[in-house]
Structure 1
């Protein structure tokens, strides 16, 4: 099972418009509301790939009820833990070229609610092959939350992926997650380095066993114990890039489940990320594009030196 952790789960509202113009009034072509947050998107993609999944995190208030109802409608296993405060909403405006997002901070989580979550998570981790910890932390959750969860997961034999940034990611490195997956902006926010290879090596030196840096249309860079590779899609994909990183994480988690060699993991993650841009909503991907691009990905080995892990 792939267990995804979305501590700051959201109700994602997506608007489509012909063109996004600042300070203008827009006529919306379509509106979609669904359960979201990085880990939820990862679970959707992993489930579509045929993996057993479960979604955990926090849900509260009327928005939390809507999140849980949509998870049920989507056939995703709901292991969310209740909180008293209202879950957040996000709004994404897509104009066919790119996407613009607006994200609320999330519910205030009490100390007792965090303790209840950790107890629930420990039970779920016993049955998980891979645990994915993704996204921001809601107010009240300790900054070392992902370090705590990675440590619990490892004690129960699960492998771990962390997709976060800044102080929460820096704290998680002490627990030595199997894979860390920042994008370029998150890499800079975490280690102050904008160059992917140098930044990836810095994260490994700080504790990550492997690092995959996503660079939008330029693909992925992996710094691993087997070597270092850069993978690029065959062409630039136009569409909604909101869930592209989450699709890459789903592929990386699947690679951990199958213990696939890194070159294959990276090809799959790059192809799936690009195919997600071609889909209208985060958590989806264009299946024909994915299968086509898996054999079209350009893979370059940058460094055959193995890390001492």
Structure 2
């Protein structure tokens, strides 16, 4: 079983507008609400692929109730930890020119008891692969407390990422900017090597339209999509994590894992909302992704 953990759950609100102009009034053509947070998005993608997955998440207040109702309607297995605070909302504005604007609320403060209940839920499930995703809300402990005892993937940023390396995650998945932020290094291969020295088993770096870079104990690879896609990029990184979890759980080689991850990321860009994937594109693209060993440094500056 793959278990995803989302300490900072959200209700995702997505607006579609003709164009986004600062300081002006906008009228949305379409408004959609969906249970979100990075781990929930990962679980949604895995569920669409037919994987054995369970989401562990927090939920509180009327917004939390809406999150629970959406997960139940989508038939995504979930363990929900009740919290006293109101679950946050995240807002995405999709404009016709292809721009994507996000506003993310910080999330409610967790009590020590709420965090320990979340950690206990993870231990009870005994996952084959554990996915820890997203920001940590105020009052939360660290992801290092949850890692260990199973294969694991960490997708967070900043201090939460650095602190979690003590838990020795199997894979860490920052994007290029997040990697540069925590290491101070502009070269992603050198920066990824620093995270490996600090405890990460492997580092998979999202390079946007250029694909993925994987720095592992068995080699370094760059995987590129066959074509540049336009669409909603908000769930692309979560789709990468979903593919990494599948590949890690099935013991696939790194080149095969990366082919699936790039293909699924593109499939998410073609989906209307975070957590949606175009399965036809996913299956077609896997055979078209170019994966090359990279013995030297990759300069993305």
Normalised by the shorter chain, which TM-score bucket? over 0.9
Q: Distance in 2 between matches of 1:23 and 1:298?
A: 43
Partner SS state of residue 79, structure 1:
strand
Runs of 4+ in 1 over 3 A off after TM superposition: none
Residues 13-49 of structure 1 show CA distances to partners (whole Å, capped at 9, x for unaligned) of: 0011122222222221111101000000000111111
> In the alignment, does 2:170 pair up with 1:171?
no
In the other structure, the counterpart of 2:146 is 149
TM score, norm. by length of structure 1: 0.93
> In the alignment, does 2:192 pair up with 1:200?
yes
Are the counterparts in 2 of residues 11 and 88 from structure 1 also a CA contact under 8 Å? yes
Are the counterparts in 1 of residues 55 and 77 from structure 2 also a CA contact under 8 Å? yes
Q: Distance in 1 between matches of 2:14 and 2:86?
A: 20
In the other structure, the counterpart of 2:243 is 251
Are the counterparts in 2 of residues 272 and 285 from structure 1 also a CA contact under 8 Å? yes
Equivalent of 2:182, from 175, 182, 190?
Answer: 190
Partner SS state of residue 167, structure 2:
coil
Q: CA deviation at 1:111?
A: 1.1
Consecutive unaligned residues of structure 1, counting only runs of 5 or more, are 305-309
In the other structure, the counterpart of 2:224 is 232
Are the counterparts in 1 of residues 57 and 78 from structure 2 also a CA contact under 8 Å? no
Q: Distance in 2 between matches of 1:170 and 1:18?
A: 40
Are the counterparts in 2 of residues 35 and 70 from structure 1 also a CA contact under 8 Å? yes
In the other structure, the counterpart of 2:234 is 242
Consecutive unaligned residues of structure 2, counting only runs of 5 or more, are 297-301
Q: CA deviation at 1:116?
A: 1.9
Residues 260-301 of structure 1 show CA distances to partners (whole Å, capped at 9, x for unaligned) of: 000000011011111111111000111111122111111110
Q: Which aligned pairs between 1:14-33 and structure 2 lie closer than 5 A? A: 14-33=14-33
**Would you say how many aligned residue pairs link Structure 1 and Structure 2?**
295
Q: Distance in 2 between matches of 1:197 and 1:98?
A: 29
Q: Distance in 2 between matches of 1:132 and 1:301?
A: 26
In the other structure, the counterpart of 1:297 is 289
Are the counterparts in 2 of residues 12 and 92 from structure 1 also a CA contact under 8 Å? yes
Q: Distance in 1 between matches of 2:130 and 2:46?
A: 12
In the other structure, the counterpart of 2:299 is none
In the other structure, the counterpart of 1:307 is none
In the other structure, the counterpart of 1:9 is 9
Are the counterparts in 1 of residues 158 and 181 from structure 2 also a CA contact under 8 Å? yes
Are the counterparts in 2 of residues 90 and 101 from structure 1 also a CA contact under 8 Å? yes
In the other structure, the counterpart of 1:133 is 132
Partner SS state of residue 100, structure 1:
strand
Are the counterparts in 1 of residues 130 and 152 from structure 2 also a CA contact under 8 Å? yes
In the other structure, the counterpart of 2:65 is 65
RMSD: 1.2
Are the counterparts in 1 of residues 106 and 137 from structure 2 also a CA contact under 8 Å? yes
Q: CA deviation at 1:60?
A: 0.7
Q: CA deviation at 1:189?
A: 2.3
Are the counterparts in 2 of residues 60 and 86 from structure 1 also a CA contact under 8 Å? yes
> In the alignment, does 2:152 pair up with 1:160?
yes
Q: Distance in 2 between matches of 1:121 and 1:296?
A: 37
Partner SS state of residue 76, structure 1:
coil
